[in-house]
Amino acid sequence: MMKNSSTQLGKILAILPNIQKINLRCEADYYGISHLIAKKLGLPFTPRSLAGWKHGWLIADLYYKEQLIGGSREANFLVPLVAHKHFLYEYGINSEAIGMPFVYVEDIVTDKIERVKKSLLVMPPHSLPYTIHAWDEDSYAKQISELQNQFDLIVVCLHQSCVDKRLWVDAFEKYDIPWIIGADAQDKNALIRMYKIFHSFEFMTTNVIGSHIVYAAYCGCKVSIFGDYAEYSREDYKDEPFYCRFPFILEHNIRYVSRKSIEKLFPYLFSHPKEASIRVKWAEEELGKVNKVTFDEFVKLLGWLPKEQFVFYAQKIYSKIKSIIIHMFKT
């Protein structure tokens, strides 16, 4: 990597928050959004949220309620779009359309972030602790390396799980392409981290569909799908807990994430990275920015009111005592 590129990367790394691991009590804790909201409200701690909140970008057509609520048993749900709210209403499920968590980060990060001209962020597909993949890492890394004379800075962003397994690491290091760690669901600062990364690069390219595309576009990156497309298979997710519970969701999603399907849904995303366009308004619509609420409203939406918290923990204590008593009589 050239000296100037190294300096630019150093400046980007300097503005990123440290990774702080947290325990995940519910979906509202994922990527640290509940902690960010609590801090914004000046609360001394982060209450346990009593509502589910959809995180991932919904790409496949909406057929099953589990696509929005997962395996959650929460009584209320927060969803990105009004169409999602109407869909859940048909199942008798209470929900509110408030946009995705990522759209609230811009109200938390006040720093002015310099976007590096002629910079390219590369985001290959990521694994999870319980998934296994067989991507051709070297082939994609080689395709990216052939772009080095067209950009002043190329950096690969990898999921923590991939780094732990050394997926993609060796392939990109072979071509002297630096990498950084991106999001981790257990990182309190994950959303801030990704927001700052996306605002630091002019272009973002990937070889797979996913939330990273719409997040990057929302932040003003010129996004593209380029290179050998990384297909997912049923075998990849055979041990994934959610899909083990709801295999019909896996079957449904697999049909929608193939290259053939994505080319039909989003033909404008397939291009050479240099020819990619800004698609902020498209991303705002996909993420439900128009449905944003004030931070004060989250106290009620997330079930953080004192009365709701008291009832929740009282019920937990009651259930625990009941379980102990039943066990005592059985023995």
Residues 223-263 pLDDT 10s: 999 999 988 878 878 888 888 898 898 888 888 888 999 99
Q: How much is the average pLDDT of 117-138?
A: 85
Task: Judge whether residue 1 has pLDDT over 60.
Answer: no
pTM greater than 0.75: yes
Task: Judge whether residue 299 has pLDDT over 90.
Answer: yes
The contacts of residue 235 (CB under 8 Å, 6+ apart) are: 132
The pLDDT, as a whole number, for residue 204 is 98
The contacts of residue 73 (CB under 8 Å, 6+ apart) are: none
- What is the per-residue pLDDT across 171-189, written as a single tens digit (0 to 9) for each? 999 999 999 999 999 999 9
The contacts of residue 85 (CB under 8 Å, 6+ apart) are: 79, 95, 96, 97
Q: Is the separation of the CB atoms in 79 and 51 below 8 Å?
A: no
Task: Judge whether residue 4 has pLDDT over 80.
Answer: no
The amino acid at residue 171 is A
- Region at 27 (left for phi over 0; alpha for psi -120 to 50; beta for the rest): alpha
Helices (H) and strands (E) in the chain, counts: 15, 9
The pLDDT, as a whole number, for residue 231 is 84
Q: Which of 69-78, 155-164, 221-230 has the lowest mean pLDDT?
A: 69-78
Sorting pLDDT into bands at 50, 70 and 90, what band is 292? very high
Q: How much is the average pLDDT of 116-134?
A: 85
The pLDDT, as a whole number, for residue 88 is 94
The contacts of residue 245 (CB under 8 Å, 6+ apart) are: 71
The pLDDT, as a whole number, for residue 331 is 64
Task: Judge whether residue 277 has pLDDT over 80.
Answer: yes
Task: Judge whether residue 163 has pLDDT over 70.
Answer: yes
Task: Judge whether residue 169 has pLDDT over 80.
Answer: yes
Sorting pLDDT into bands at 50, 70 and 90, what band is 75? confident
The amino acid at residue 100 is M
CATH number of 3-16+114-236+259-281: 3.40.50
Task: Judge whether residue 3 has pLDDT over 70.
Answer: no
Q: At what angle do helices 211-218 and 190-198 cross, to 10 degrees?
A: 60
Task: Judge whether residue 131 has pLDDT over 80.
Answer: no
